[in-house]
Amino acid sequence: MTAAGRVLRFSFGERVVHWMTAILFLYAALTGLALWSPSLFWLSNVFGGGDAVRRWHPWGGVAFAIALGLMFRNWSKDMKLGSEDRRWLRQAHRYAVHDENGLPPAGRFNAGQKVLFWTQSVSVVLLFASGVVLYWPEIMPRGLRLAALVVHPPTAIVSIAGIILHIYMGTAAVPGALRGMIEGWVPEAWARAHHPRWYREIVKR
């Protein structure tokens, strides 16, 4: 949809799901970091103390998983990685230094965003499975609990690292992206520059 030099990048529903996921992610990640290391346990004070973190971190995680599931339903079709994307990823270092000549034109999402999407999708499955095991220390078999102890934290770190990059890209590194995710609209020039293949498809419609 285009109007007066603007194009609709994200529908209201997509924006709601994105920000629901984002808030739940921040809650799960920060309360999780409180349990990650005793030296970060002070973070639990921000979220109501250690007892509250032990009680609500798991449910925050479940809610996050559900929100991510909705996001998956919205976007998984647009997130399919093609041969163009693989070519893009091989030259991602050039994207990082703003030398984008020769990079395959991005569709609705560029290959970096797609990799983030799939990283989070796989992570949430691992986090959920290991989290369920850790939730019941006296019911789950000890071997499973020990395995979960070496799955849950590193998976969370990968997930958080991805989101650090995502927040940087979405706010500072790509001006206009944050506004697109809040208000839904982006300038046509922005769409043409960052997602040319997607822009051409919308204009055709």
Partner 1 sequence: MIVAKLIDTTTCIGCKACEAACQEWNDQGLTVGVARSDDGTYQTLPDLRHDFWNVIKFNEATREDGSFTWLMSKYQCMHCVDAGCLDACPAPGAIFRRENGIVDFDHDKCIGCGYCITGCPFDVPRLSPVTQKVYKCTLCSDRTSVGLEPACIKACPTNCLTFGARDDLVRLADARAEALRSEGRGNAGVYNPAGVGGTNVLYVLEDATRPEAYGLPRDPTIPWQVRLWKGPIKWVGNAVLVGGVVGAFLHYLRYGPKEVRE
Q: Which of the ranges 74-82, 105-113, 115-123, 171-179 carries the binding residues for partner 1, by CB under 8 A? A: 171-179
Question: Binders of partner 1 among 59-98, rule CB under 8 A?
Answer: 96-98
**DSSP helix/strand/coil, 190:** helix
Q: How far apart are CA 119 and CA 159, in angstroms?
A: 7
Closest CB to partner 1 among residues 125, 164: 164
Options 7-15, 75-83, 119-127, 141-149: segment touching partner 1 (CB under 8 A): 141-149
Q: Which two tokens stand for residue 63?
A: 């809610």
* Closest distance of CB 21 from partner 1, Å: 19
Measured over the CA atoms of residue 110, residue 111, residue 114 and residue 115, the dihedral's sign is negative
Candidates 11, 78, 168, 203: give the one binding partner 1 (CB under 8 A).
168
Closest by Cα among 155, 129, 128, 133 to 144: 133
The answer to whether residue 103 forms part of the interface with partner 1 (CB under 8 A) is: no
CB of 161 to partner 1, least distance (A): 5
Count of CB atoms situated within 10 Å of the CB of 33: 17
